[in-house]
Structure 1
Amino acid sequence: MKLQQLIEQGFQARHDLNCAETIVKGANDTYGLGLDDNAIRLAAGFGGGMCVEGACGVVTGITMVLSALYAKERGHTSPEMKEKIKLAIQQFESLYQSTNCHNLKENHRDEKTGCHGLILSGGEILDEIVGAR
């Protein structure tokens, strides 16, 4: 099953997760990252734009997942990781013209489903990038 499908099937609501947690935990389950609960909990503070409507939690979650998959020992020694993250952010920005939580919530958050569409797009972007590895 792909991450996008997992998200479509209510993964976020079933586990009571924020946007960043949904991406990281969902990717862990989908791609077998081997992250334990403590590692997944690191994503908690990135939801809601790092709790201050700054950088989108979907984007920071994607960054964490691609780091887990492609970082060698350190970020500065992992050019493939950097390329994958840049690609993911470019794809997200091309869809929504922003990676800022405040702007995204203003324009794309739904009263009933919250940021589900943004999270779904994040899952699709990761599936595309990770599927190419």
Structure 2
Amino acid sequence: MTNQISQKEIISEKVKEYYWKYDLNCATTKIKLLSEMFSINLSEQVISAAIGMHGAGKYGAQCGLVEGTLMFLGIIGKEYSFQEKTIVDHCREYAKQFENKFQSLLCSALRPEGFKKNNPQHLCENLTCRAIEFNIDFVLQFINTKRY
């Protein structure tokens, strides 16, 4: 009998920690967790850049789960010496696949109940976990493509 923890359980625990212990937003949680999963060091400036990326500062625009991943694709793409065109093409493909899987790129459509004043925090915890699982597969496919 093994005592291994599944990837799904690791993701769930890390999302819970980042949301509830550190009160991070979805974009920051996403980029931090992906960087850990793929052993990519992030500067504090990158983390700071994600501060307002949760639906454009709760405006309801592009979802922070999408934004965090787009940032990460640029970072890991450069780490793997991909051409900019390749990175841009994969960002577009990622957005298309995310929208197909989750039916939207907009925070206002994805976030349960939107941004009402009395909403509890971190309503997107379950969606975040599912999106990170989806992203890991996408990033693995990305880094295993030709680099030219």
Relative to structure 1, the CA distance from residue 2 to residue 30 in structure 2 (aligned partners, 3 Å threshold; closer, same or farther) is farther
Structure 2 Cα separation of the partners of residues 92 and 126 of structure 1: 9
Alignment TM-score, normalising by the size of structure 1? 0.79
| Cα RMSD after superposing both structures | 2.8
Q: Return the match for 1:105 from 104, 107, 111.
A: 111
The alignment-based identity, stated in percent, is 23
Unmatched runs of 5 consecutive residues or more in structure 2: 144-148
One-letter amino acid of the structure 1 residue matched with residue 12 of structure 2: E
Residue 63 of structure 2 is aligned to residue 56 of structure 1 = yes
Structure showing greater radius of gyration is 2
Q: Return the match for 2:41 from 18, 34, 37.
A: 34
Residue of structure 2 equivalent to 1:8: 12
Deviations 1:71-122 (A, max 9, x none): 48xxxx5122122212221221112211111111247999686111321232
The number of residue pairs the alignment matches comes to 129
Alignment TM-score, normalising by the size of structure 2? 0.72
CA contact (8 A) 2:60 2:114 kept: no
The structure with more helix, counted as a fraction of residues? 1
- Which runs of 4 or more aligned residues in structure 1 lie more than 6 Å from their structure 2 counterparts after TM superposition? 107-110
CA contact (8 A) 1:3 1:26 kept: no
